[in-house]
Amino acid sequence: MSNPNLYQLLNPDSVAVIGVSRTEGSIGNTAIKNFVDGGFKGKVYGVNPRYQSVEGYPCYPSLADIPDSVDAVIIAVASHLVENAIHDCIAKKVKYVVIFSSGFAEKGAEGLQKQNEILALCQENGIRAVGPNTIGTYNLKNRILLSFTPLGRMEIVDGDVGVVCQSGATCITLLSTAMEENIGFNYGLTSGNQMDLTSLDFIDFLVEEEETNIIATYIEGVPDGKVLEEISKKALRKHKPIIILKAGRSEAGQRAALSHTASLTGSNEVFRMAAKSLGLTHVQEIEEMVDAIKAFRGRKRPKGNRVATVVISGATGIMLADKLAELDFDLIPLSSATQEKLFEEVPLYCSAANPVDIGQTLLYNPRLYKHCIETLVETEEVDMIVLHLPIGTNAGGLTFAQEIVDVSKTTDKPIIVITTGPERSIAEVRKFLTAHHIPAYSSIRSGAEAAKYLLDYERSYQKLLQTVENDTNSSLERHSLLKGTKSVTEPQVKKLLAQHNIPVPLGFVAKREDEIDKGLSNLKFPVAAKIVSEEITHKSDIGGVVLNIKNEAALREAFKTIMSNAESHDVSDKVDGVLIEEMVESPKQEMIVSIRKDPVFGPIILCGLGGIYVEIMKDVSQRLAPISEKEALEMLQELKCYPLLAGVRNGQIFDISELAKTLSSISKIAQSLEGPWEELEINPLVVLPKGEGVMALDGLITLSEEEGVTKLGTVNKK
Amino acid sequence: MSNPNLYQLLNPDSVAVIGVSRTEGSIGNTAIKNFVDGGFKGKVYGVNPRYQSVEGYPCYPSLADIPDSVDAVIIAVASHLVENAIHDCIAKKVKYVVIFSSGFAEKGAEGLQKQNEILALCQENGIRAVGPNTIGTYNLKNRILLSFTPLGRMEIVDGDVGVVCQSGATCITLLSTAMEENIGFNYGLTSGNQMDLTSLDFIDFLVEEEETNIIATYIEGVPDGKVLEEISKKALRKHKPIIILKAGRSEAGQRAALSHTASLTGSNEVFRMAAKSLGLTHVQEIEEMVDAIKAFRGRKRPKGNRVATVVISGATGIMLADKLAELDFDLIPLSSATQEKLFEEVPLYCSAANPVDIGQTLLYNPRLYKHCIETLVETEEVDMIVLHLPIGTNAGGLTFAQEIVDVSKTTDKPIIVITTGPERSIAEVRKFLTAHHIPAYSSIRSGAEAAKYLLDYERSYQKLLQTVENDTNSSLERHSLLKGTKSVTEPQVKKLLAQHNIPVPLGFVAKREDEIDKGLSNLKFPVAAKIVSEEITHKSDIGGVVLNIKNEAALREAFKTIMSNAESHDVSDKVDGVLIEEMVESPKQEMIVSIRKDPVFGPIILCGLGGIYVEIMKDVSQRLAPISEKEALEMLQELKCYPLLAGVRNGQIFDISELAKTLSSISKIAQSLEGPWEELEINPLVVLPKGEGVMALDGLITLSEEEGVTKLGTVNKK
């Protein structure tokens, strides 16, 4: 991944605006006016032959005329003039350009070509570019905007949240909506068509940037899944949450994304899985993003999922309990000691069980609220506290809010507040809390989901730290098995599996009938006989498979039948022999396991129970490969049909620990394969009774070729 | 269902307040002050020995002292004084009481007993009661509050929405939140512990009330599912949407509900299914309720799910497309004719495909927005329009809003608006739209979900109108099979099934070996032999089942074996014979079908594929019984494993139409059964290949007894 010093772009000493204008409200005017409004301390130049100066800054006919060097250039001209502007930048040895102009890749093939030409120019001359089709970058901390959105109209709240958006409008909506809620930001970086610098470059910058603690990003496509993986792991190690909204999860949305920022959005299912694996906080709406930012701004970490709530209305208590339960929280009944403590202050007529329902009592004894919060902060029984505060400014809501702030300072336990009621009476209370870094929401759903963001993030943090460390230790020899091969036979796939310690049936390939004798000495009947050929895809179709062969005579018979079938199908010259293998006679469950190359995220491992479970019920589990044994076990436990492996009722218990170990081994094959492979499918991988292990009965590798994708290998029809 | 003239309660000519007070802000003071504030035209009396008058109304030492008759009495005294107050009301021949007092059923067994005593008093003397533990009733249309919430502080917006809430606080939150958004209400009715008058009585009143067009209700428990069913169907016929929020869907929520309004909440899964069947708009949060009310206030009906969107930002277009697609909308690409029409006004640089993305162009050509809306209103290609309007009041948002209002007046097509941006700049635009009955929302999610509420409601309306008409024609003879029975044998269950035209295997019961001969004349081998006994639950366990009997000799042998097994298990005196039945040899799929009595909604039919599909994968479909054949088919299509019936790949196609017909027949059995039955389970109901029908291989009826539930009948172990 490119790693330019983005700091310099965002903090230039000198800037020029090509296409500067004196027309108020125009793009070329706002862009330069932003330096006045921001009190920019560096040098600013306009470039436009019509003016001598604009907004108090000197203006030159061309970039070349500027007497000094220029760090960053804003290009605010029509798309057909951009190429010339880049040439001027090259001549001036400019390092960074920000290209506002639209009319490139988002406009189809012709625009894409134009964009590629400009990109090549930049790359050849060491220029890093933002855009095109972008509103530019905001360094809010230092009030430096390389953007045509007016700084003068923004009410900036300073903070430690950095934003990366592919879409400018979304960046503006997010910042303005969130700052109205007293959430502070330091950067707003929009990547537009991300011809050169992508959203991932910006995210990476924010992960490294010391004063950024939370990263929120809107993307349409992931430029490189592996890079996102690296960045995510780094962010997790630094305990910096990344909140990600990826648009284009539907077909209709994908169509729209292509015409917006020319993004190919990738598979939504894979992204969802990847986000979860990588500890990203995955949201679907701007509102959810704001909610998640609020949650993380609290900087408190839940130790577990035990939550207590204090409510002023019984109905709210029920609805809140419903929502929290739905999100996997444990609304534990409080111990009698804690309940007594809660009752201490006032003899409650209400319930202290959990929800702690203090009802109208609050109005007669204002101390009660704080007492409840303090009690719940002190007890070891709960990991998080969710408070209901439906009390507006006119009824003393700010006083209660101050109490929450005070108590929160004494604890590491997350406290989340739900402030319901008419916006005019409750908004100020909510914003007061947010200003003091207490996550506060105007709906039960938002509040409960915020708690869930925190919980999920902490769980990912704990889990992934281990995984990250494990993975760095794993290094495998590379297999050149696929180098130069045109296709892969079943014995070759099985050899590969065996090299990775994945059990395959005992067997051998007999090219002639007289070779059977020798090979058989190690095998037990019954055996299976399967034709081996680089060119025959569907072996059963040509009578190339015989199963359940009970003795040597029958095997010889089977060999002859297979060979004569090949002859009558006119393929006998392409036959490499017959694979003879022991058959598995134990009770077994059949699994389908595959690794495929996702165009965005690389190798992905999938597993499910064979047959209708995968095909009809779509009961599958996926992860980014490689995975550890522990992760493999989690994958299996996610399957709805997991009880069929673990032993339902009095049924067979299968060898789940060997299966998990094997899944982990399979997941590592991808790292070691070289060549044009698309997918490795093991179908079936049979799981034997506990203690007896697993076995790959058949393997198929799909290769990609120039003329599309060819499936080769075998399918074991039984 | 009780059907009192609630109109009189809500529009009394004379009222008295027992427990009236002069202390400002107290319950007894606010209750009477509300009549002053509402300009009440009837007579008002206080009851309190300490005063001669309160708030300008005469006050008497006791109810008996009031010189005139009193229609409705508000009881605002401590719980231990309520009984006396009721006695006074009886003496005064009062028709209605509203009991604010808490400390009854919501406080456990003792409180429940007290409440039951008061209820008995009321019932014996023809008094209808609201509460206890209620904030009372609001007739907002006429400003008559029988409540202790202060009318003086409410900013009432008049309208056609009626609210029924079990919880007073929720009623207040809903009304105040919604009225701030310019949504108008006519009634707010809270039922509290609903000792006598329940939320269903109130809903029924609003369904009948001519000026109410939308009903919104918060409930914790459904007092009677059958009554809710009747009311729902009536409301649907009148095309009055009922929006329902049922709290207590989680275990934690259910615990909380019990201590709040003493509600048993019932099964959430059943409620969800019932709400869907009955055309109720089922929401889970107050915010969603407000969103749904807004949607229905538009009074426009979508003809289908084809939706077009107009957006100002590409990213919003993508996110909106994603959300709409997720909710089953069809974001059709617009025809080239329509796209040209859209482009007519201005040569667009943006996309007109759908989302119609007009981007910044809007700011230079304000006419464009209206032109787009008009074009989409005119085209037959779309059923609904969702507009993005992120333009605040300062940028002319109200002008655009007025255009939307103008165009909306010319069409029956629903138009939904999403107004994103900072609340301070966008709130007025949104509220302007709402005031003009245009559904407007501040998030993509809310807007898209609103569209979904409308679509689902219209679909229910179209569908249920047919069903409702069909159902009224169905009347069945009642079976007394279960009258007085202590248990049910397999042959009895099968006889019942056969009477309902559900095919069962050909067979007979042989009590003695010499009866086999005669019965066999009609049967084909192979047959099954199963012990028949009222007392033997697990036939296989005692060796009471023999399958796959190929000829008469083997059958005689089987008969003897079964009888001798019974003897060795010491149950031979309880045996009623052996059931001998033909076995099904065709390919088949096994279904599990059951009808069970839900405590709230009555008979519910469930179906799923037998074995692991139901047990492990939980792949089942349920409906309120009875169902039509069409509904039965829908149930089957909802199953994930439906392809196994419909013929997956080259697999067998089963007799789905006979299965649907049979499910409908089974669903009607419940209506005809009398006696203490709990559940009828047919397991398996085998489905044969297309054209060959279905067959019930075994049937089990579970009876309830005083000492719990006893399972009787048979389980066919194969």
The string of pLDDT tens digits covering residues A401-449 is 999 999 999 999 999 999 999 999 999 999 999 999 999 999 999 999 9
Query: At what angle are helices A168-180 and B423-435 packed, to 10 degrees?
Result: 90
pLDDT at B481: 56
pLDDT for B399 equals 94
> CATH number for the B305-452 domain, one of 3.10.20.600, 2.40.100.10, 3.30.750.24, 3.40.50.261?
3.40.50.261
By CB atoms closer than 10 A (0-12, 13-18, 19+), residue A50 is exposed
Query: B residues 633-652 near A, CB within 8 Å?
Result: 640-641, 643-644, 648
B355 touches chain A (CB under 8 A): yes
Query: Under an 8 A CB cutoff, do A315 and B247 touch?
Result: yes
Read off the DSSP letter of residue B647: -
Boundaries of every domain in chain A: 1-133, 305-423, 506-582, 589-713
Candidate CATH numbers 3.30.43.10, 3.40.190.10, 3.40.1710.10, 3.40.50.261; the one for domain A305-423: 3.40.50.261
For residues A228 and B465, the model is more confident at: A228
pLDDT category, B446, cuts 50, 70, 90? very high
Q: How far apart are the first and last CA of chain B?
A: 48
Cα separation, B589 vs B587, in Å, equals 7
Say whether A612 and B355 touch across the interface (CB within 8 A): no
What are the helix (H) ranges across B209-267? 225-237, 251-261
pLDDT over 60 at B336, yes or no: yes
Topology agreement, domain B1-133 and domain B155-297: yes
Q: Does residue B473 register a pLDDT over 50?
A: no
* Residue with more model confidence, B300 or B154: B300
| CA distance to partner chain A, nearest, from residue B355 (Å) | 7
Question: In the 8-state DSSP scheme, what is residue A583?
Answer: P
A684 prior amide bond cis, ω within 30: yes
- List CB contacts (< 8 A) between A177 and chain B: 420-423
Residue A689 confidence (pLDDT): 94
A1-133: CATH class: alpha beta
Strand order in the sheet with A14-18: A53-54, A57-60, A43-47, A14-18, A72-75, A96-99, A128-130
Cα-based torsion angle of the residue sequence B561, B562, B567, B573 in order, rounded to the nearest 10 degrees? -140
> Would you call B440 helix, strand, or coil by DSSP?
strand
Q: Is the pLDDT of residue B101 over 90?
A: yes
Specify the pLDDT at position B361: 74
Chain A to chain B, count of Cβ pairs less than 8 Å apart?
222
pLDDT of residue B709: 40
What totals of helices (H) and strands (E) does chain A contain, helices first?
24, 30
Residue B3's pLDDT band (cuts 50, 70, 90): low
Which tokens go with A143?
């009030």
> Any idea which of B255-259, B474-478, B701-705 has the lowest mean pLDDT?
B474-478
ipTM above 0.90, yes or no: no
Integer Cα distance of B265 and B259 in angstroms: 12
Residue A711's Cβ-count burial label (10 Å; 0-12, 13-18, 19+) is middle
Question: Check: CATH 3.40.570.10 for B155-297?
Answer: no
Minimal-distance CA residue of chain A relative to B443: A287
Contacts of B170 in chain A (CB under 8 A): 313, 315-316
Of residues B550, B313, B206, the one with CA closest to residue A247: B313
Tell me if A490 sits within 8 A of A529, measured CB to CB. Answer: no
Which pair of structure tokens corresponds to residue A145?
Answer: 């905007």
pLDDT tens track for B610-638: 877 788 888 999 999 999 999 999 999 99
More confident of the two residues B211 and B488:
B211
**pLDDT at residue A485 in the model:** 61
* pLDDT of the residue at B484: 57
CB contacts under 8 A, B 439-498 vs A, are: 443-445
pLDDT < 50 regions, chain A = 1-2, 468-476, 706-718
Does residue B115 sit at the A interface (CB-CB below 8 Å)?
no
The percent of residues in chain B predicted with pLDDT above 90, rounded, is: 70
Q: How would CATH label the architecture of A506-582?
A: 2-Layer Sandwich (3.30)
In a mutational test of the A interface, the residue from B311, B318, B360, B613 whose CB has the highest number of chain A CBs within 10 Å is B318
- Domain B589-713: assigned CATH number: 3.30.470.20
- Interface membership of A248 toward B (CB under 8 Å): yes
Highest mean pLDDT: which of A371-375, B347-351, B464-468? A371-375
Do the Cβ atoms of A259 and B351 come within 8 Å? yes
Note whether A167 contacts B314, CB cutoff 8 Å: yes
- Rounded CA-CA distance A312/A355 in Å is 10
Amino acid in position A247: A
Residues near A322 by Cβ (< 8 Å), separated by ≥ 6?
B247, B248, B249, B250, B252, B253, B284
Q: Tell me the nearest-neighbour CA distance from B506 into chain A, angstroms.
A: 33
Q: Which helix (DSSP H) or strand (DSSP E) does residue A406 occupy?
A: helix A397-408
pLDDT, residue B345, reads 67
Query: How confident is the model at residue B711, as a pLDDT?
Result: 40
**Position B715 confidence tier, pLDDT thresholds 50, 70, 90:** very low
Instruction: List the Cα angle A493/A499/A503 in 5-degree steps.
Output: 75
